[in-house]
Structure 1
Amino acid sequence: MLELYQFELSHYCEKVRLILDYKGLAYRKIEVTPGIGQVDLFRLSGQRQVPVLKDGNEVIADSTAIALYLDRKFPDRPILPADAKQRALCLLMEEWADESIGLNSRKVMLGAFNQSPELRLSSLPASTPDLVRNLVKSFPREVFDVLGAGVGLGAESVRSARKAMEQNLESLNTLLQDSPYLVSDQPTLADFAVAGLTMYIKFPDIPYLAIPDGLKGKGVPGLADVFAYSTFWEWRDRLYADFRKPPISATPPASSAPTSIDIE
């Protein structure tokens, strides 16, 4: 069986999970968690980032490389168009999604957690004690600003990322006004990249992901909940409903997984 070394809340992993589900491929998720196991992931793949796909003796790192491998190995339900121009457009859009949506959505999400105590509370498990909830809710915003600036996520960086995401969503909303998919009349790699990588802007409201219930359907205020982008969000909901499979709770977790602190 295919093995996906992943982080459940990685939007790059979600891109791969969408493709695996679309192709109807059985796979086992191996969750990576911060810790010493990062060395094991490096030994397996030669790098420390997820997702990594293991198919027998084949080990493939990077979401784009995994997508292209899956399309070569399992050609049923192709995710690359046969038409040369559509294929080129698909690959260009996928690269744009990785670099613009993927990077900017992470910054915008972290900025939203800074600004919104309610969003921070939504990310906590239901069993979190009230004392911890109150601490999380009342944590000074200035502390988040200082911490964010220290890792390149200061206020100006978040504002720039938000402007980029507004432009991205406006463009996607326009492209999907009269089209079922972004490139052709069938879903392609571009669609799955865009759908998966917008996860941080708005989490799916159906339990496709193992996330706290409070986060389901929640997202970045002003991006996830405004009418101007409703066509895009309705399209993404349909894509999930048509192709994404809810997790099977009986799937046994791997307790000895390698670990990583990166999520790309």
Structure 2
Amino acid sequence: MLELYQFELSHYSEKVRLILDYKGLPYRKIEVTPGVGQVELFRMSGQRQVPVLKDGNTVIADSTAIAMYLDRQYPDRPLIPVDPKQKGLCLALEDWADESIGLKSRKVLFGAISQNQNFRTSILPSNTPDVVKTLVGAVPGEVLNILGLGVGYGPDAVQSATTDLRQNLEAINLILTESPYLVGDYPTLADFAVAGLSMLIKFPEGPYLDLPETLKGKGIPGFAENVAYETFFNWRDRLYADYRKPLSANTTAGGTGSTPTAIEID
């Protein structure tokens, strides 16, 4: 069985999970605990970031590389259009989604976490000890802003990312106004990239992720509930309803004994 080394709240992992479900491929999720160590995954893949897919003796890192591998190895329900123009649009949109929605939504999420204590603790993994949740919630927003400066997530960067992300969602809304999918009349890699990478903006409502019930359907204030993006989120909900498998329907959870102990999330 395919093994996906992942982080449940990694939107790049969600992009791969959508693709696996669309292709009807059963897989075993192996949850990677962030911040503790990275030896096992590094030894296996040569890098420290998720997602990583293991197919027998073949190991593939990076969500785009995984998508391309799956399309070659499991060609049923292809991700890439045959038509040259549609293929070009698909690949361009997928790359744009990775570099724009994928990166900018993390910065905007960081800004929301810095300003909202309840939101900050609510997105911690469900197995986080209460004492850790208390400590995380007690960190002043000003301290997080200072820490964010060191990794490019300072207030100015967050504000710039917020402006760009609004424009990105407006653009997707326009594309979807008269089209069921981003490129043509059936879903492609572009659709699964955009849908999966938008996970941090607004978490899906259905039973797709191991999240507290209070988080499902919620997301970044100013985005998740904004009616201006209703077309986009309705489209994403339909994509999930049509292709995303509920928890435990097509996956099995990895045992703790085989789980790497830490990871840099990407």
Give the Cα separation in 2 of the matches to 1:226 and 1:46. 41
- 1:81 — aligned with what? 81
Once the two structures are superposed, residues 133-160 of structure 1 have per-residue CA deviations (whole angstroms, 9 ceiling, x without a partner) of 7765564221221222222211001001
Can you give the 5+ residue segments of structure 2 that lack an aligned partner in the other structure? Answer: none
- TM-score normalised over the length of structure 1: 0.92
Judge conservation of contact 1:169–1:232 (CA < 8 Å) in 2: yes
Once the two structures are superposed, residues 180-207 of structure 1 have per-residue CA deviations (whole angstroms, 9 ceiling, x without a partner) of 0000100000000000001111111122
- TM-score normalised over the length of structure 2: 0.92
Judge conservation of contact 2:37–2:263 (CA < 8 Å) in 1: no
What are the equivalent positions in structure 2 for 1:1-264 lying under 5 Å apart? 1-34=1-34, 38-123=38-123, 125=126, 139-248=139-248, 251-255=252-256, 256-264=258-266
Q: Secondary structure at the match of 1:5?
A: strand
Q: CA RMSD in A?
A: 2.1
Q: Secondary structure at the match of 1:251?
A: strand
Give the Cα separation in 1 of the matches to 2:246 and 2:207. 6
Q: In the superposition, relative to structure 1, how do residues 169 and 145 fare at CA in structure 2: closer, same or farther (>3 Å)?
A: same
Give the Cα separation in 1 of the matches to 2:34 and 2:121. 22
Q: Which moved more, 1:55-64 or 1:116-125?
A: 116-125
Q: In the superposition, relative to structure 1, how do residues 50 and 179 fare at CA in structure 2: closer, same or farther (>3 Å)?
A: same
Identical residues among aligned pairs (%)? 65
Judge conservation of contact 2:34–2:265 (CA < 8 Å) in 1: no
Q: In the superposition, relative to structure 1, how do residues 171 and 254 fare at CA in structure 2: closer, same or farther (>3 Å)?
A: same
Structure 2 letter corresponding to 1:232? F
Give the Cα separation in 2 of the matches to 1:132 and 1:12. 25
Once the two structures are superposed, residues 81-104 of structure 1 have per-residue CA deviations (whole angstroms, 9 ceiling, x without a partner) of 111110111000000000011100
Structure 2 letter corresponding to 1:236? R
Can you give the 5+ residue segments of structure 1 that lack an aligned partner in the other structure? Answer: none
Q: In the superposition, relative to structure 1, how do residues 80 and 248 fare at CA in structure 2: closer, same or farther (>3 Å)?
A: same
Q: In the superposition, relative to structure 1, how do residues 37 and 156 fare at CA in structure 2: closer, same or farther (>3 Å)?
A: closer
Judge conservation of contact 2:4–2:29 (CA < 8 Å) in 1: yes
Once the two structures are superposed, residues 159-188 of structure 1 have per-residue CA deviations (whole angstroms, 9 ceiling, x without a partner) of 011011001000000000010000010000
Give the Cα separation in 1 of the matches to 2:92 and 2:193. 11
Structure 1 letter corresponding to 2:62? D
Give the Cα separation in 1 of the matches to 2:221 and 2:208. 22
- C-alpha displacement of 1:24: 0.3
Q: Secondary structure at the match of 1:186?
A: coil
Judge conservation of contact 2:50–2:263 (CA < 8 Å) in 1: no
Give the length in aligned residue pairs: 263
Q: In the superposition, relative to structure 1, how do residues 8 and 171 fare at CA in structure 2: closer, same or farther (>3 Å)?
A: same
Q: Secondary structure at the match of 1:217?
A: coil
